[in-house]
Chains A and B, each alone.
Chain A
Amino acid sequence: MHGEYKMPGGKLVVVDLALRDGRFEGVRLSGDFFLEPDAALPAINAALEGQPADAGDDALVAAIDAALPAGTTMYGISSAAIVVALRRALHEGAAA
């Protein structure tokens, strides 16, 4: 499943993932945003991996925030925007 979200005044945030036994699997964040250090990308993917599909937005945002390396900076992307892209992927997957 594939979801895209362009944050107003931000950059494109893309999430690809699958669902397995009601949990996120193979979560991959990508896009033309700015994120430092770049190790934050796999940390975000790992934070979302295995989360239950019925987790609330707040819980997912908190999971992302808790996984970010100290001093992470985001430009054109936010934890909330990642969750929007993820929701869109799930909706698209549900509709397909």
Chain B
Amino acid sequence: MSRSDWRAHDWRLIHAAPQPPLLHMALDEALLDAVGSGRRQPTLRLWEWAAPAVVIGRFQSLRNEVDGDAAQRHGIEVVRRISGGGAMFIEPGNTITYSIYTPLAMVEGLSFQESYALMDSWVLEALRELGIEAWYQPLNDIASNAGKIGGAAQTRRGGALLHHVTMAYDIDAAKMLDVLRIGREKLSDKGTASAAKRVDPLRSQTGLPREVVVERMLATFRRLHGLTDDQLRDHELAQAQALVRDKFGTAAWLADVP
């Protein structure tokens, strides 16, 4: 099987109204399976958040990463996603998060670094058009001269690739540091003692409202790769809701790595 090109696919866009954090976790699994089994075309899903959340990576220790008392005090839900990588601190309107679900054929024969670079390429072009020189910084960051802009994570299953990205639009760094336990070892090769300084959000870099940044990003994807507006099917939503009930919403999943 030879590698497929972006243009070989009929890309679909899902950009639904704000949804709760657990449903986002479940939608990633449901839509990855749908694309893997050929029931859905390759899809770009733009997330809108209905509530604040800390999203921890598949293999992160719940206790080591999150100050549970602080999260509760701030009314922040803690959820675990299906991909590896680090914790994300989310407040509605403060991040731009999206998922790409595509057949594995698109990254056939590529190394992990090459597949991150490929999947990030359109958003780097979008940022360039917004006046931000940004690049893919291995292993999984999106960075600019001013600092880290976002991070990506991938997971593969059932013949499909999930590549999802969270970029900081604006950030309450004090609250983030209150809730996330960011250890010294983690910062050892980052060249700064302040985790807050590691992130430079899109708001300060573009001066544009979040909605405009999102619209510009989608326009870039549409121009480069083609993009047809789509929506969640009823059965996809039902499957995701079942996954919230049976998996993502359970204590067993959240504390799977205690």
Contacts and interface: CB of A to CB of B under 8 A. Distances in A.
B59 A5 contact: no
Contact of B156 (A30, A31, A36, A41): A36
Contacts of A83: none
Contact of B84 (A4, A6, A32): A32
Interface in B127-161: 138-140, 153-157
Contact of B59 (A4, A9, A30): A30
B257 A28 contact: yes
B60 A32 contact: yes
A64 B80 CA distance: 25
B19 interface: no
A46 interface: no
Interface in A4-35: 4-6, 8-12, 14, 16, 28-35
Given A6-B185, A28-B258, A11 B139 contact: yes
Interface string B78-94: 00001111110000000
Given A16-B61, A34-B153, A35-B59, A9 B84 contact: no
A30 B84 contact: no
Given A12-B186, A34-B84, A36-B155, A75 B59 contact: no
A30 B60 contact: yes
Contacts of B188: 6
B55 to A, nearest CB: 12
A4 B185 contact: yes
Interface residues of B, number: 28
B58 A38 contact: yes
Contact of A75 (B61, B86, B112): B112
B83 A34 contact: yes
A50 interface: no
B101 to A, nearest CB: 16
B139 A30 contact: no
B180 to A, nearest CB: 11
A76 interface: yes
B85 A32 contact: yes
Nearest to A12: B186
B189 A6 contact: yes
Contacts of B140: 34, 76
A73 B108 CA distance: 15
A37 B59 CA distance: 11
Interface in B29-43: none
Interface of A: 4-6, 8-12, 14, 16, 28-38, 41, 73, 75-76
27 contacts: A4-B185, A5-B185, A6-B186, A6-B188, A6-B189, A8-B189, A11-B85, A12-B185, A14-B64, A28-B257, A29-B59, A31-B60, A32-B59, A32-B86, A32-B186, A33-B59, A34-B154, A35-B84, A36-B155, A36-B156, A36-B157, A37-B157, A38-B58, A38-B59, A73-B112, A75-B139, A76-B139
